[in-house]
Structure 1
C-alpha cells in the first residue's frame, strides 16, 4: 500500500508571511519520508468541519504549482477539484500545465463539489446536485478529448467548446490519471467505472468501504471495464500521537484497508507542521504500509 499526504489546513504559526516556507518544507520532508503523492483541497474557504471560514485557505492549482517547484518525485493533485470552480477547458489547461511543469506528475482529482456558502460568497456557480453530475460527466469527456489528438468542437448540454486545442500536450501518457472522489453508488461510482483511473469513495467505515467496492465492481461489469485496473484509494486521518503512541492502531487500520483491496491511503497528518510528526510518518507508517 502507498501513502499520500493531504494538506487541508494552512493555519500555522507565523501566518501568511511564513506560509510558503512552511508549505515548501512540509512537501520536501514528506517526499523524503517516502510519501507517494501530495494533495490539497479545492476549497476557497476553510471547511466547517476543520475551522471557521476565515481561516487561511489557498487556491488549489496555484498551490500545486508551488508544490511542483519544491518536489521532484511525488504526484500532485487536488482532492478533489470542484466541477463548478473552473470551466472544463480551463481545468484541462491547469492540469496540463501542472503535468508539464512537474515533469508528468499531475493527477486530476475531481468531483461534484461541496460548499454552497463559499460558492455563493465568491460568485461561483453551484447548481443542484443533478446538474452538477451532468456537468461532471461533460467535464470528464472534455478533458479526455483535450488530452487526445482530437481538436474538434465539443457540444454538450452545459458546455460548448469551439476547438479543444491543448498545446503543449500533457507529458503523462495517455493522459494524467483521473481520480473521481465520492461514494455515491448510483452516479459517482458509475462514472468511476466509465471514465476514471482511480476512485476515492469517501466511506464512513470498513463495512461501508467494502460495500462501495462491491458496487463499483458491478458497475465495471456493466461498463465492460476491468475492475482491477482502477486504483482504489481510501481516506484516512493520520493521528500518530505526539510520541507515536497511535502508530500501531494506524497500521492495523491500513492493514484492514489493504485486505479490502485498497492500494492507496490518502489523508491529513495531524500536526503536520511539526517536523517530528513527519519523521514518525517516514520511520514507522510508510515502511509498514509498503509491506501490505
Structure 2
C-alpha cells in the first residue's frame, strides 16, 4: 500500500453557498455543470462555472438527462415513451423505456436500457435489456433477474450483471456482443456493487460483500477475461483513465480524506495527498482528461477543484 502520509493538495472553491451537490464535468474538462434555479438564479436550468472559478452562466434552459458528450437530451415522459433530442439539429425520436435511464456508447450512436418488472422480490424480477441505434427501433438482447446494465465496451459489447435463472443464488458478471449474442462470464458472486468501467472499457472495478471470505472485497478485472485482482484497500473510487483508479480510503475517524491512486498495469499504489477536508456523502468526480477532481466540501458545502499530480 505504501505510506498514507502526504502533503495537503491545494484546492479552490468554484461554487459556494451549499447550492450545488451533484456537479458534473463538461466533456472538455474546462467547466462544471449543475442544476440550479430560484432563489439563487433567475430561472431553473443547467448552469456552468469554469473549472478555475469565475462567472456562472446558464448553459441549458431546459432540464433533462444529457448524454456524457452533451450531444443528446433525454426527457422521460409520463407514460412509456422517452424523447431523445439531438442537440446539434433538434431532431427527435422516442423509445418505450418506461422512464428508465439510457446508457450510451462512447460514440453516442447506440444506447441501451432496461425495462424491469415493477413488483416482486428484486432478486427475482425480470429485467429485459434493449439496445437501439439512434433513430431506430429497439431490440431486446437479454433477459436477467436482479441485475442490469453496467456499461458499454466499445460500440457493440455490453457489460451486464444478473441471474440468468431467477432461482439461482449467484449473479454473473458477463460481457455480451449485442450483434452476435455471444457471452463471456467474468465472475460469479452473490452480488456485484459499485460496478464501474475504466474510461476505455478495458477494466472493471467492483466490490463484493456478504459473500464468502474468498469473494468479499474490492476487485479489478480485465473485461476481456482472466482472473480478478483483489485490492488491499476499500473506500470511494473513481477511474482517472484507462488504467489508473483513484480511491479515498474509508477512515471513519474524522480526519481529512486522503486521495490514493492504483495503477492497474503495474499493481502499484501511490498517495497523491490529502484534501485537508472531507468529501460530503461521496460527492466527487474526475474530469474527463484525468487532470482534476471536484468535490463537495463537508467543511463548508462549497464545491472545490483540485489539480492532480501527474
Give TM-score, length-normalised by structure 1.
0.31
Rg bigger for which structure?
2
Instruction: Flag the structure with more relative contact order, 1 or 2, with Cα contacts below 8 A and sequence separation at least 6.
Output: 1
Give TM-score, length-normalised by structure 2.
0.30
Q: Which has the higher helix share?
A: 1
Q: Which has the higher strand share?
A: 2
